[in-house]
Homo-oligomer: A and B are copies of this chain.
Amino acid sequence: MRISDLSRQTGVPTATIKFYLREHLLPPGAMTARNQADYGSEHLRRLRFVRALTTLGQLDLSTVRELLVAVDDPQLSRRGLYEVVHRALFRGEPVASDTEGSERAAGEVDEFIDGLGWQVDASAPGRGTLARVVTALQRLGCELNVDFLVPFAVAAEQLALRELDLHSKEGAALDRGAMVARIVLFEVAFAALRRMAQEHLLVLRLAADA
């Protein structure tokens, strides 16, 4: 199909598709004439992948490019793929300089993770994120410590288990790109559900108060 067909099928403007081609986010099409190329279903799938991750996933193009390299690397295990996705998702979070004494919280987070029985690498960026969240909230006057997060951790584990079962069931049947997209987009979906649940419960509570 032509570039205009790709555009029609996905709703992505032709100029944007050309930009993705120049940026090597899409492989070149097969040249059929001096100024015309033919694109196949692989282009369509890849275009959808790039689009889902940049719009819904709000990832930048260089991050999406890294994810594509990982998706295309047959040597990379499923665990390796997860690591690349996690690293991409944590991108853009703050570095250590601006963290206002979260060392104590870091120790608490490490104990918390141990207490959950989770086997998580000592350098996992999530540890630092949790420590920074707890510290920031305490400094803003919230009286809470990391134990407040226990039910969050329980829910996180349940959902992760469910997702992983889904991946295992499909096994090699599912395209690796689809698997990566699913990891990213389930996060987006969960955040949306959480905000709607908050709205719903506020409505209920206001009705009860009235």
A182 close to chain B: CB less than 8 A: yes
A127: chain B residues within 8 A (beta carbon) = 196
Contact (Cβ within 8 A) A193 B130: yes
What is the interface residue range for chain A against chain B? 35 or more
- Tell whether A27 is near chain B: CB-to-CB under 8 Å: no
**Would you call A151 and B162 a contact (CB within 8 A)?**
yes
CB distance from A10 to the nearest CB of B (A): 6
Q: Which one, A18-26, A32-40, A118-126, is touching chain B?
A: A118-126
- The residue on B at minimum CB distance from A188 is B133
Distance (Å) between the CB of A152 and the closest chain B CB?
5
Q: Nearest B residue to A190 by beta-carbon distance? A: B152
Please name all residues of chain B whose beta carbon is closer than 8 Å to the beta carbon of A152 when the two chains form the complex. Answer: 159, 186, 189-190, 193
How many copies are assembled?
2
With a CB–CB cut-off of 8 A, which chain B residues contact A199? 82-83, 86, 118-121, 124
Say yes or no: A98-B11 contact (C-beta < 8 A), given A124-B199, A152-B193.
yes
Known: A129-B192, A156-B190. A137 touches B185 (CB 8 A): yes
Measured between beta carbons, the chain B residues less than 8 angstroms from A192 are: 90, 125-126, 129-130, 133
Q: How far is the CA of A149 from the CA of B162 in the complex (A)?
A: 10
| B-chain residues with CB within 8 Å of residue A113 when the two chains form the complex | 196
Contact at A182–B56, with CB atoms within 8 Å?
Answer: no
- A residues touching B (Cβ–Cβ < 8 Å)? 9-12, 45, 48-49, 51-52, 55-56, 58, 78-79, 82-83, 86, 89-90, 92-94, 97-100, 113, 118-121, 124-127, 129-130, 132-134, 136-137, 139-144, 148-149, 151-153, 155-164, 166, 168, 170, 174-175, 177-178, 181-183, 185-206
